[in-house]
A and B are shown apart, each in its own frame.
Chain A
C-alpha cells in the first residue's frame, strides 16, 4: 500500500500579504485559482510583484483559471527536520505550470494521492485546503485521481 501524500502542516506557514499578493489569497478564499496577468502586455507572473518585468506596467487583472496544470517537478519530504513536520510526512512540495497562465509556475504541494502515482509531466488539478485559521491554500491532486 503506497503512502499517501499528506498536507504540509498548518503550523509551517503563517500567511503574510501585501497589496500585490492579497488578491491571490482573496481569490483562494473564494475557492478560485488565479494568477496575476499584466493588463498591458498580457503576460502572467508568479509570485505577484509591483511591476510587470516585461513592460514595467503596474496594471493587473486576476482571471479565474481552470485549475488545471502540469507537474514540473516535485520532492517527497520523508524526514522531519523540525517538530512541526512530524505529523505530516510524507508530503510532496511541487511545482506546477498552470495550463491557462503560461509563464506562471506555482510552488505548491501535491496532496491526497499515492506517492507512487506522482510523476513529472502529470496532469494535475487544484483542490482547496480550508485551514483552521481561515486561510485557504490551493493544493493540487492528480487529474486522473
Chain B
C-alpha cells in the first residue's frame, strides 16, 4: 500500500509574513489558529471536520488548539522528529494517517515567531549537551556558521563559486519582487550582492534566509472526499522522509563522509520519492526548494537529480532556475531568502498555488511541483504535488 495519489491538499491558510518580532502582540499559537481558520475556510469545510493534526519541528500543543478552536475530537495527532527538514514530510504524515483510516481531515501546521529567540543565534537557546560541546566551543552559534562549512567544502571540491550563490539569491529576489506576500521586494543586483557584508565567509548577508514570523496550515483529506470540496484538489503524488546515518545530525556533527558532506542530505529521500511516484526529475515543472542558505539550494538540485553531483553551480548559472525562461523555476514566491521564512511551510503553500494555477508567478501549465524540506538533522523530506 502506498500513499501516492491517495490524498489531496484541499485548503491552505496563511497569516501575513512579518519581519522578526513584528507579529506581536499576537502569540505563536494565535498565529497558528489564524492559519487553521483560513485553511478551513479555503477548503469549504467546518472546523469540526478536523480530526487530525500533523506537524514537525517540535509542533504545537494539540489540546490547546482544540480548546481554542472548538475542535470536538481528534483521532490522530503526530509529528515528525527533527526540525525544518520535516516540513514537506508532515504532509506525508497526514496522508499516511488518512490512507490508513486513522483520520479523515488532517491539518498540517507550521509557524515561527522569533521575538524571543532569533534563529541566527539559535544554539544559544539549546540546553548544553555533552555531544554538542565541540561546536559550542568552536563558536558555531547559528546555522549560517555551520552551513558555511559545508558551502566552502563544496566550493573547494567542485569549483562552486559565490557567483553561483549570487544567482540563487538574485533569481529568488526577482520572484519576490512580483509576489504580493513577499517581505523583501527591492531589486537585488550582482553588485548589491558582492557589496553586502560577509557574515560567515563564504556566506554574505544575501545567502541567509530572512528571520520572520508567521504561520501556515494546509488541510489534507482523501482524494475521494477532495473531489466533493470547493477547491480543485492538489493531489499528494508522493511524499518521503528520512536520511542516511552518514548525514545524521549533520551540521551539529560534521563527521559526514566526504561524499555525503557535499550533499544536502536528501539523497535517500530523493531516491525514494522518484521510486514512490514513478516520476523522474525531468517531469517536474516547478520546484520549491528549502532555501535557508543559497548553497543548500544548489546541493539539493544535485541530490534530487536535476543535475549531477557538483554540477549545481553551473546549473543555476545557466539560468535554469529562473522563473523567466528557466527549465525548472525554483522558489517562485521569493522563497525563504526573500519571501518569508515560515520554517518550510511557505514552500508547500506555493506548491499548492502553482498546481491550482493561481500563483502570483504562475508557471504556465504547471502540473507537477516538487517541495523539499531541510537540509538539517534527519529527517529531510520531499513532496510532489500534482493536478
Contacts and interface: CB of A to CB of B under 8 A. Distances in A.
Contacts of B133: 13, 15-17, 21, 25, 47
A75 B130 contact: no
A77 B139 contact: yes
Interface string A87-121: 01001011100000001111111000000000011
B202 A75 contact: yes
B156 interface: yes
A14 B198 contact: no
Interface in B85-140: 118, 120-121, 124, 128-140
B149 A75 contact: yes
Contacts of A15: 128, 133, 137
A53 B132 CA distance: 18
A47 B131 CA distance: 6
B142 interface: yes
B148 interface: yes
Contacts of B128: 14-16
Interface of B: 118, 120-121, 124, 128-142, 145, 148-150, 152-153, 156, 197-203, 245, 253-255
A78 B199 contact: yes
A85 B141 contact: yes
A9 B300 CA distance: 34
A41 to B, nearest CB: 16
A12 B139 contact: yes
B244 to A, nearest CB: 13
Contacts of A2: none
Given A82-B124, A95-B254, A75 B145 contact: yes
B198 A120 contact: no
B118 A81 contact: yes
Contacts of B148: 75
Given A12-B141, A77-B200, 13 more contacts: A9-B139, A14-B136, A16-B132, A18-B130, A74-B149, A75-B149, A81-B118, A81-B121, A91-B139, A93-B140, A94-B138, A107-B138, A107-B254
B255 A45 contact: yes
B255 A46 contact: yes
A108 B153 CA distance: 16
B135 A107 contact: yes
Nearest to A45: B255
Contacts of A106: 134
Top 7 A-B pairs, shortest CB-CB distance: A8-B139, A75-B148, A76-B201, A16-B128, A107-B134, A18-B130, A93-B138
11 contacts: A13-B137, A15-B133, A16-B129, A17-B130, A21-B131, A74-B149, A74-B152, A77-B139, A77-B200, A81-B199, A93-B138
A120 B255 contact: no
A107 B134 CA distance: 6
Contacts of A103: 255
Contacts of A79: 197-200
Given A15-B133, A46-B255, A79-B197, A72 B153 contact: yes
A121 B258 CA distance: 13
B138 A73 contact: no
Contacts of A88: 139
A13 B148 CA distance: 20
A109 B135 CA distance: 9
Contacts of A58: none
A92 B128 CA distance: 21
A57 interface: no
Contacts of B200: 75-79
A64 interface: no
Contacts of B142: 81
A126 interface: no
Nearest to A6: B139
A12 B136 contact: yes
B153 A73 contact: yes
Contact of B150 (A9, A73, A82): A73
A121 to B, nearest CB: 8
B137 A8 contact: yes
